[in-house]
Amino acid sequence: MHLVTLKEWTDSEIQETVENSLKIKNHPEKYRHTAEALNLGLLFQKTSTRTRCAGEIGIVQLGGNAHYLDWRSTNFGIADLSDEIRVLSAYVDIILARFLKHNDMLDAAKAATVPIINGCCDRYHPTQAIGDLMTIQEYIGKLDGVKVCFVGIHNNVCNSLIAAGMKVGLEVTVIAPEINPAAIDKELLSEAEQKGCYKPVDTELVDNHGILQRIIGGCDVVYTDTWIDMEFFTDPDFADERDRRVEKMMPYQLNPNLLRDLDCRIMHCLPAHRGYEIDGDLLDDPRSVIFEQSENRLHSMKAIMLYLLSQS
């Protein structure tokens, strides 16, 4: 069993993993030997702080070992992906992989003979979503019926929030004037919309802060993410697109003025780009659970790994 998109996980698998994440957070000592002598292989084609640390440190805290493979210093770049994943599967008990392209994630999942976890591709970020649900459960006290408003570019993080949220009764309102082309998943959105778990807002109608404020104010949580995914940050060919997006997205920035007097929790998967999708002051706002959310990546990654290991 793998974790590729979360769509393949059942409602109860997601619910139980969220509950276990909280148990692990509250009683880490009980889990010290639960992955004794097991080996996690981390294969990263892109940079990472949280996901990498959650995997590497998480498995060690569970009694196992971590082996980080930087894409460029392995032979993944010059060989058939499936062959290399098959080889890696023979050395480790579980794999955490961050690929640029979702199709590579799918190929890797087909070839892996041990559980493989999607550590964020261009279409989904499932481990982030489990950590997000854990944080919502922790700070709002429930998941069913909780209203989350995602404001930004519809991307991998937004997709996974919807995919996970749909299984636990979250209502995700999305205020996104654009979708990242690589993140398009019409099937997911249409299923979630039918179930009342995804509410896209026509941004043509959101032409002032008053409307934006009213929509966000009706939600329990407001969530944003970068306007530009990490792989494009230093890409010189993306410079014009970066400028275009910043200009278009500035009216959607989360800032103290927009959120004035609103009673909602503030979330961001991080890394944040202060002064762009979020004003820096909001990270330390009393309503923010951003750093707690980030810490929860560690606890929830442990719960994900333990669940997958128990199934293999």
Let me know: does 282 contact 266? Beta carbons within 8 Å. yes
Residue 102 binding ligand NVA, by CB under 6 A: no
- Give the interface segment with ligand NVA, choosing from 23-31, 78-86, 225-233, 256-264 (CB under 6 A): 225-233
Q: Which two tokens stand for residue 298?
A: 């560690």
For 182, 194, 216, 218, 296, the CA distances from 199, given in Å and listed in that order, are: 20, 9, 13, 13, 26
End-to-end CA distance of the chain: 7
Partner interacting with residue 225 (select from ligand NVA, ligand CP, none; CB below 5-8 Å by kind): ligand NVA
Partner interacting with residue 154 (select from ligand CP, ligand NVA, none; CB below 5-8 Å by kind): none
Residue 268 binding ligand NVA, by CB under 6 A: no
DSSP state of 182: G
Residue 229 binding ligand NVA, by CB under 6 A: yes
Residue 230 binding ligand NVA, by CB under 6 A: yes
Residue 300 binding ligand NVA, by CB under 6 A: no
For 1, 40, 42, 99, 167, the CA distances from 173, given in Å and listed in that order, are: 31, 36, 33, 28, 15
Residue 66 binding ligand NVA, by CB under 6 A: no
Let me know: does 96 contact 41? Beta carbons within 8 Å. yes
Partner interacting with residue 293 (select from ligand CP, ligand NVA, none; CB below 5-8 Å by kind): none
Q: From the list 51, 61, 159, 160, which residue makes contact with ligand CP (rule: CB under 6 A)?
A: 51
Q: From the list 94, 206, 264, 269, which residue makes contact with ligand NVA (rule: CB under 6 A)?
A: 269
- Nearest alpha-carbon partner for 126 in 137, 118, 134: 118
Encoded one letter per residue, x for contact with ligand NVA by CB under 6 A and - for no contact, window 107-126 reads -------------x----x-
Query: Which residues, at least 6 apart from 12, have a Cβ–Cβ distance to it below 8 Å?
Result: none
Instruction: Compute the least distance from the CB of residue 226 to ligand NVA, in Å.
Output: 5
- 62 sits in the region (left: phi over 0; alpha: psi -120 to 50; else beta) called alpha
d(CA 51, CA 63): 18
- Give the interface segment with ligand CP, choosing from 23-31, 135-143, 267-275, 278-286 (CB under 6 A): 267-275
Please give the residue ranges that form the binding site for ligand NVA (CB under 6 A).
Answer: 120, 125, 155-157, 225-226, 229-230, 269
Please give the residue ranges that form the binding site for ligand CP (CB under 6 A).
Answer: 48-51, 120, 128, 269-271
